[in-house]
Chain A
């Protein structure tokens, strides 16, 4: 389990904290979507979770160990896929050969399976530095999940992927998610991950606006597409959409709808108090 305790982080030279007193628990297993506006500290939070940044106060623990200590055991339990990758001037084979020994649960079969999903040839003759941004991401994500670490942190994983790549990414995550593995995906490309998530986290600088499973969200909220202005008027949130209005309603138990992450995000941003009140009720 990842436990974030009263975490505060300030970038050097800035007066305002990027993350201010955040506390959060991410139980093991499942795909978490981490959403927030630009600059609220999503990437910073991922780096803090992985121990790549030192908080001003508070700490992040992975199964009870402070991740900032960067102990080899902790590092072998998590993998970070950053938004912008720097890969060494090696072939894929050589890259795997020198990095895989650090991960006790690395599976060559899983690597082959993931590469096949992305239609990448393991024996490609050229070096990783000659690949396009999207291909590099596919290779790195395949390796990340083949390491079978209990925690995988992904920052904007679909940036740079083409349309088939995004489809493959959804298959890839769906086939890799299991009960023991926690995958945290930070993204603005909500459509790319909408159907994958088990849990949604929406943050701003000071608060966690929403921390709920998709099942919980489905029980408490309904996401409807309507042309009836009366429905829209009574909605928690409504916005014009093609052919009508996209609205978020309180779910009285009569709806079974798919989550619209864009609408949910706007609702959380504009009416955080009301959303908190809805999710506070048992």
Chain B
């Protein structure tokens, strides 16, 4: 037996061949998406910084208040961009299976499901995360350059990295960075799973499904909370203080890690069960 097909589940040579195949077949599409992502980020970031300068700083010296406002706005934008682009990337997890012809090509490719799964993880999850971070860094550099040109070097907020952005928005919560990263990872898993069930317009359909689930959950939680805590019309904060929720970040982190692991496990099972026809 040839070394290329020596292992039933995972072979290094076969995995490299599968990775090379996936990359070569999707390279042009990814290049266009990354450039579009960079363009959108640079436009939004520079536009937002310019807006903050014009509205908050007016024509006075770049005050501390304006600096804080700019950093907060950029941090918010950074997290927004990461949330959207990471989910868009994850929505392409199952993109090679959209039509019967594409499915046949993927399913008959002599690599194991595990190898195909890991290839997709590397491109749609890890690769997109790295590309998004790189695009943010480049767009932040562009923002700094443009702002220096417009307003002078004294009136430009410092570089805002992703970790900076998270800590800027969660100053008081211990463990907030971890749970924010965990939530991004968890939602990536959900959108990857969504792509396995919605071959077309996967991002929008998954977002719709998530909204429905969150709406139902919100209604149920609100209803049960009012029943339990508010039988006499008192507010919830009369019963509990903020310190009662100190366990929350850790619990949310664990929840999102479990959500991610569960979603990816279901993605793998779905890939293994894929057929020429859609049974959904």
Binding site for B on A (CB under 8 A): 11-12, 47, 50-54, 70-73, 75-76, 78-80, 82, 84-86, 88-90, 94, 97-99, 101-104
Q: Say whether B111 contacts A72, CB under 8 Å.
A: yes
Ordered by A's residue number, 17 sampled pairs between the chains whose C-beta atoms are within 8 Å are A12-B277, A51-B107, A52-B275, A53-B275, A53-B276, A72-B8, A72-B115, A73-B5, A79-B108, A86-B100, A86-B101, A86-B105, A88-B25, A99-B109, A101-B20, A102-B17, A102-B109
* Residue B110 CB within 8 A of the other chain: yes
B104 surroundings in chain A (CB, below 8 A): 52, 80, 82, 86
Interface of B is mostly: helix
User: Considering the complex of A and B, which 6 residue pairs feature the smallest CB-CB distances, nearest first?
Assistant: A86-B101, A104-B2, A75-B110, A76-B110, A98-B21, A101-B17
- Please, how many angstroms separate the alpha-carbon atoms of A246 and B277 in the complex? 41
* Residue B102 CB within 8 A of the other chain: yes
A79 surroundings in chain B (CB, below 8 A): 108
- Please, how many angstroms separate the alpha-carbon atoms of A47 and B24 in the complex? 27
Nearest residue in B to A69 (C-beta to C-beta)? B8
- Please, how many angstroms separate the alpha-carbon atoms of A162 and B208 in the complex? 48
Q: Say whether B110 contacts A98, CB under 8 Å.
A: no
Given contacts A82-B101, A90-B24, contact A75 B8 (CB under 8 A): no
- Please, how many angstroms separate the alpha-carbon atoms of A101 and B4 in the complex? 8
B residues 9-31 in Cβ contact with A at 8 Å? 11, 13-14, 17, 20-21, 24-25, 28
* Residue B55 CB within 8 A of the other chain: no
Chain A min CB distance to B95 (Å): 13
Among B1, B28, B109, B275, which residue has its beta carbon within 8 angstroms of that of A73?
B1
Chain B min CB distance to A19 (Å): 14
A12 surroundings in chain B (CB, below 8 A): 277, 279
Binding site for A on B (CB under 8 A): 1-2, 4-5, 7-8, 11, 13-14, 17, 20-21, 24-25, 28, 99-105, 107-113, 115, 273, 275-277, 279
B103 surroundings in chain A (CB, below 8 A): 52
Given contacts A52-B108, A102-B109, A102-B111, contact A76 B4 (CB under 8 A): yes
Among A52, A89, A104, which residue has its beta carbon within 8 angstroms of that of B4?
A104
Chain B min CB distance to A69 (Å): 9
Chain A min CB distance to B60 (Å): 55
Nearest residue in B to A100 (C-beta to C-beta)? B17
Q: Say whether B5 contacts A76, CB under 8 Å.
A: yes
Nearest residue in B to A47 (C-beta to C-beta)? B276
Nearest residue in B to A104 (C-beta to C-beta)? B2
Q: Say whether A72 contacts B5, CB under 8 Å.
A: yes
Q: Say whether B108 contacts A103, CB under 8 Å.
A: no
Apart from A53-B275, A71-B8, A98-B21: 9 A-B pairs, beta carbons within 8 A: A52-B275, A54-B275, A72-B5, A73-B110, A75-B111, A84-B101, A86-B100, A86-B101, A98-B20
A71 surroundings in chain B (CB, below 8 A): 8, 112
- Please, how many angstroms separate the alpha-carbon atoms of A98 and B2 in the complex? 18
Among A78, A82, A98, A104, which residue has its beta carbon within 8 angstroms of that of B24?
A98
- Please, how many angstroms separate the alpha-carbon atoms of A74 and B20 in the complex? 21
- Please, how many angstroms separate the alpha-carbon atoms of A79 and B109 in the complex? 9
Interface centre among B25, B28, B102 (most CB of A within 10 A): B25
Chain A min CB distance to B143 (Å): 34
Q: Say whether B113 contacts A90, CB under 8 Å.
A: no
Q: Say whether A90 contacts B17, CB under 8 Å.
A: no
B102 surroundings in chain A (CB, below 8 A): 86
Chain A min CB distance to B275 (Å): 5
Nearest residue in B to A149 (C-beta to C-beta)? B110
Nearest residue in A to B20 (C-beta to C-beta)? A98
Q: Say whether A104 contacts B277, CB under 8 Å.
A: no
Chain A min CB distance to B23 (Å): 9
Nearest residue in B to A102 (C-beta to C-beta)? B110
